[in-house]
Structure 1
Amino acid sequence: MNTAVIVDVVRTPVGRGKPGGALSGVHPVDLSAHVLRTVLERNGLESGQIDDVIWGCVSQVGDQSMNVARQSVLAAGFDETVPATTIDRQCGSSQQAAHFAAQGVIAGAYDIVIAGGVESMSRVPLGSSAHGGAPSEGLRERYPDGLVNQGISAELIAGHWGLSRTDLDTYAAASHRRAADAWAQGLFDSQVIGVPGVDLAVDETVRAGTTVAGLSGLNPAFRTDETAARFPGLDWRITAGNSSPLTDGASAVLIMSEQKAAALGLRPRARFHAFAVVGDDPIMMLTGPIPATRRVLDRAGMSIDAIDAYEVNEAFASVPLAWAHELHADPARLNPWGGAIALGHALGSSGTRLLGTLVGHLEASGARYGLQTMCEGGGMANATIIERL
């Protein structure tokens, strides 16, 4: 088998995903095109050398419809012979794109692939692709009370693991502090690229002055008369402050075989060590990273203690806290440069954003192994183990 390696990872800064956000005036196709061009330029490649582009995007309607990956390749000026596809694994879409790309390299189907993703939540609001849809008869039969949104799942997790409002807000404030410190130390500089015509050099959502006291004044975001009646035992502690904000952004990772990298004179930065993807309870929904991590560790023949850093997507503070409790993970190794609560969660791009953060941290710290996992809509999760080279 071939060895699949990561040669480069780039991303845009993250903009607030609302009208007036720094990236709201940029079409998602153009955001994607910018990171795609940058990957080629930074590595001295011609577009015709790329075997495929695999792109994540969750809300594939409006500006993100009609195979946004192919549109982005064309907008980037790539040769028309370069194919591209858009995939939806919900929040893990670009992590799954990286899996598919690396697995294709390992199987010998590809030499060079670009995986990544985009989401412009200011232009294509969260839930846009669900508008007008109704659950099927079969789904209603299996779940007669209906499925729930992710905020409710985050509340259920907080209740099940006994996470208090203070626990959640303390974690959220720490995420902002870690992210602000990482930016201040220049740790993101090598991977974050400015967007032409946009005055944004750092992630727009990081608030260095966030405190637990400030977060404590926010109201629960998901309690309604309907949800309170359905889940009467919940204490309702998930707020906008301990959740990831709506954001815009794009990211990409250059993946190739180790042999191809050597032939091109490019330095591999990390290799893919193991992969996993699982389904889990669609009501609890966001617990998927727990079994996904267990599966990927089993496949790698490793224990959690052998992993030097973990990137667990902070869709809500309750997710990484429950994950760390179940895996007996070292809190000091969890999202050391901050997570999505501070850095944002531009859905389709988050998987490769986390991957870039993980590679950067392993390099900066001299550590060897990193694990990435993400909760996903519908009760799924991806997990990846990489090894710094």
Structure 2
Amino acid sequence: MAQAANQLAVTLGISKAEQDAWAIASHQAARSAPVDHIVELLGVSNDPFTRELSERHCARAPKVSGSISVANMSVAADGAAFVVVVSSQWAKERCAKGVDLLGGLTIGGNPEMPGLAPVEALNQTLSSLNICRSDLRSVEIMEAFAAQAIACVDGAGIDPVIVNNWGGSLARGHPIGASGAVLAVQLFHRIQVTGGLGMAAIAAAGGLGSAIALSL
């Protein structure tokens, strides 16, 4: 996967400096994120993965493949998340705190460029729901690699200002098999604050891309 991420960076001209800057910003966002939702989710007062990442740290970080280093790729982590989908009537009767699931899909992409699979998933979801990119208030994009996150944000035409505002997988870790649910849960908490429309998207090995749209 690191080799695929590096090839993606080479193909799209994403420099190591850009990747490192994205990773640094992800850690900064995670460290300044509201604590309440972390306490609620994890039962802890801080996230042990986040750190004061700097350009100096990135410069000396061991390289994994080309421009991919241990500083601009996510950390493998243990983790879990679950999402419950119920009818609006069920939630109303129980005064449950929730958001509306507007739609989403999973599609297959180029297996040689798996990091780009979420782009088409995002685009098709937006199109099917007649949602303009300018209507989005919050977006959660998988950060297995900084290069992959940058490529998806640029490819889908999403404003990076609204992406992963509470830190992504580069700062919080990448629990294989749970990361999609983690993104959905993170988006759930973010739109409780920001309101409006939000989307989450993730890539999977083999070229699969998934996206969902939520609203408060």
* Same-fold status (TM-score > 0.5): yes
**Any idea what SS the aligned residue of 1:347 has?**
coil
**Any idea what SS the aligned residue of 1:221 has?**
strand
Q: 1:316-367: CA deviations, max 9, x gaps?
A: 00112111212222111011101000011101121121111111111122x2
Identical columns (%): 25
**1:280 equivalent in alignment to 2:109:** yes
Residue 218 of structure 1: aligned partner: 61
Residue 87 of structure 1: aligned partner: none
CA distance in 2, matches of 1:325, 1:177: 21
Residue 207 of structure 2: aligned partner: 379
Q: Structure 2 regions of 5+ residues with no counterpart?
A: none
Residues 1-389 of structure 1: pairs in structure 2 closer than 5 A = 150-182=1-33, 185-189=34-38, 191-194=40-43, 201-207=45-51, 209-222=52-65, 236-263=66-93, 265-365=94-194, 367-388=195-216
Q: Which amino acid aligns with 2:84?
A: L
Q: Which amino acid aligns with 1:311?
A: E
- When the two chains are superposed, the root-mean-square deviation of aligned CA atoms in Å is 1.4
CA contact (8 A) 1:258 1:268 kept: no
TM-score in terms of structure 2 length: 0.95
CA distance in 1, matches of 2:148, 2:4: 10
**Any idea what SS the aligned residue of 2:164 has?**
coil
Q: 1:148-193: CA deviations, max 9, x gaps?
A: xx111111111111111110001001100000001xx324246313
CA distance in 1, matches of 2:197, 2:4: 30
CA contact (8 A) 2:38 2:46 kept: no
Q: 1:365-386: CA deviations, max 9, x gaps?
A: 2x21000000110001110000
CA distance in 2, matches of 1:344, 1:357: 13
Q: 1:105-153: CA deviations, max 9, x gaps?
A: xxxxxxxxxxxxxxxxxxxxxxxxxxxxxxxxxxxxxxxxxxxxx1111
**Any idea what SS the aligned residue of 2:178 has?**
helix
CA contact (8 A) 1:168 1:242 kept: yes
Cα deviation, residue 267, structure 1: 2.6
Q: Structure 1 regions of 5+ residues with no counterpart?
A: 1-149, 195-199, 223-235
CA distance in 2, matches of 1:188, 1:262: 23
CA distance in 2, matches of 1:275, 1:240: 32
Give the number of the structure whose alpha-carbon radius of gyration is greater: 1
| Aligned residue-pair number | 216
Please identify which structure carries the higher helix content: 2
Q: Which amino acid aligns with 1:191?
A: E
TM-score in terms of structure 1 length: 0.54
Find runs of 4+ consecutive structure 1 residues off by over 3 angstroms.
none
CA contact (8 A) 1:191 1:356 kept: no
**Any idea what SS the aligned residue of 1:346 has?**
coil
CA contact (8 A) 1:313 1:339 kept: yes
CA distance in 2, matches of 1:266, 1:167: 45
Cα deviation, residue 268, structure 1: 4.0
CA contact (8 A) 2:121 2:211 kept: yes
Q: Which has the higher contact order (CA 8 A, sep 6+)?
A: 2
Q: 1:260-280: CA deviations, max 9, x gaps?
A: 2223x2234201101111111
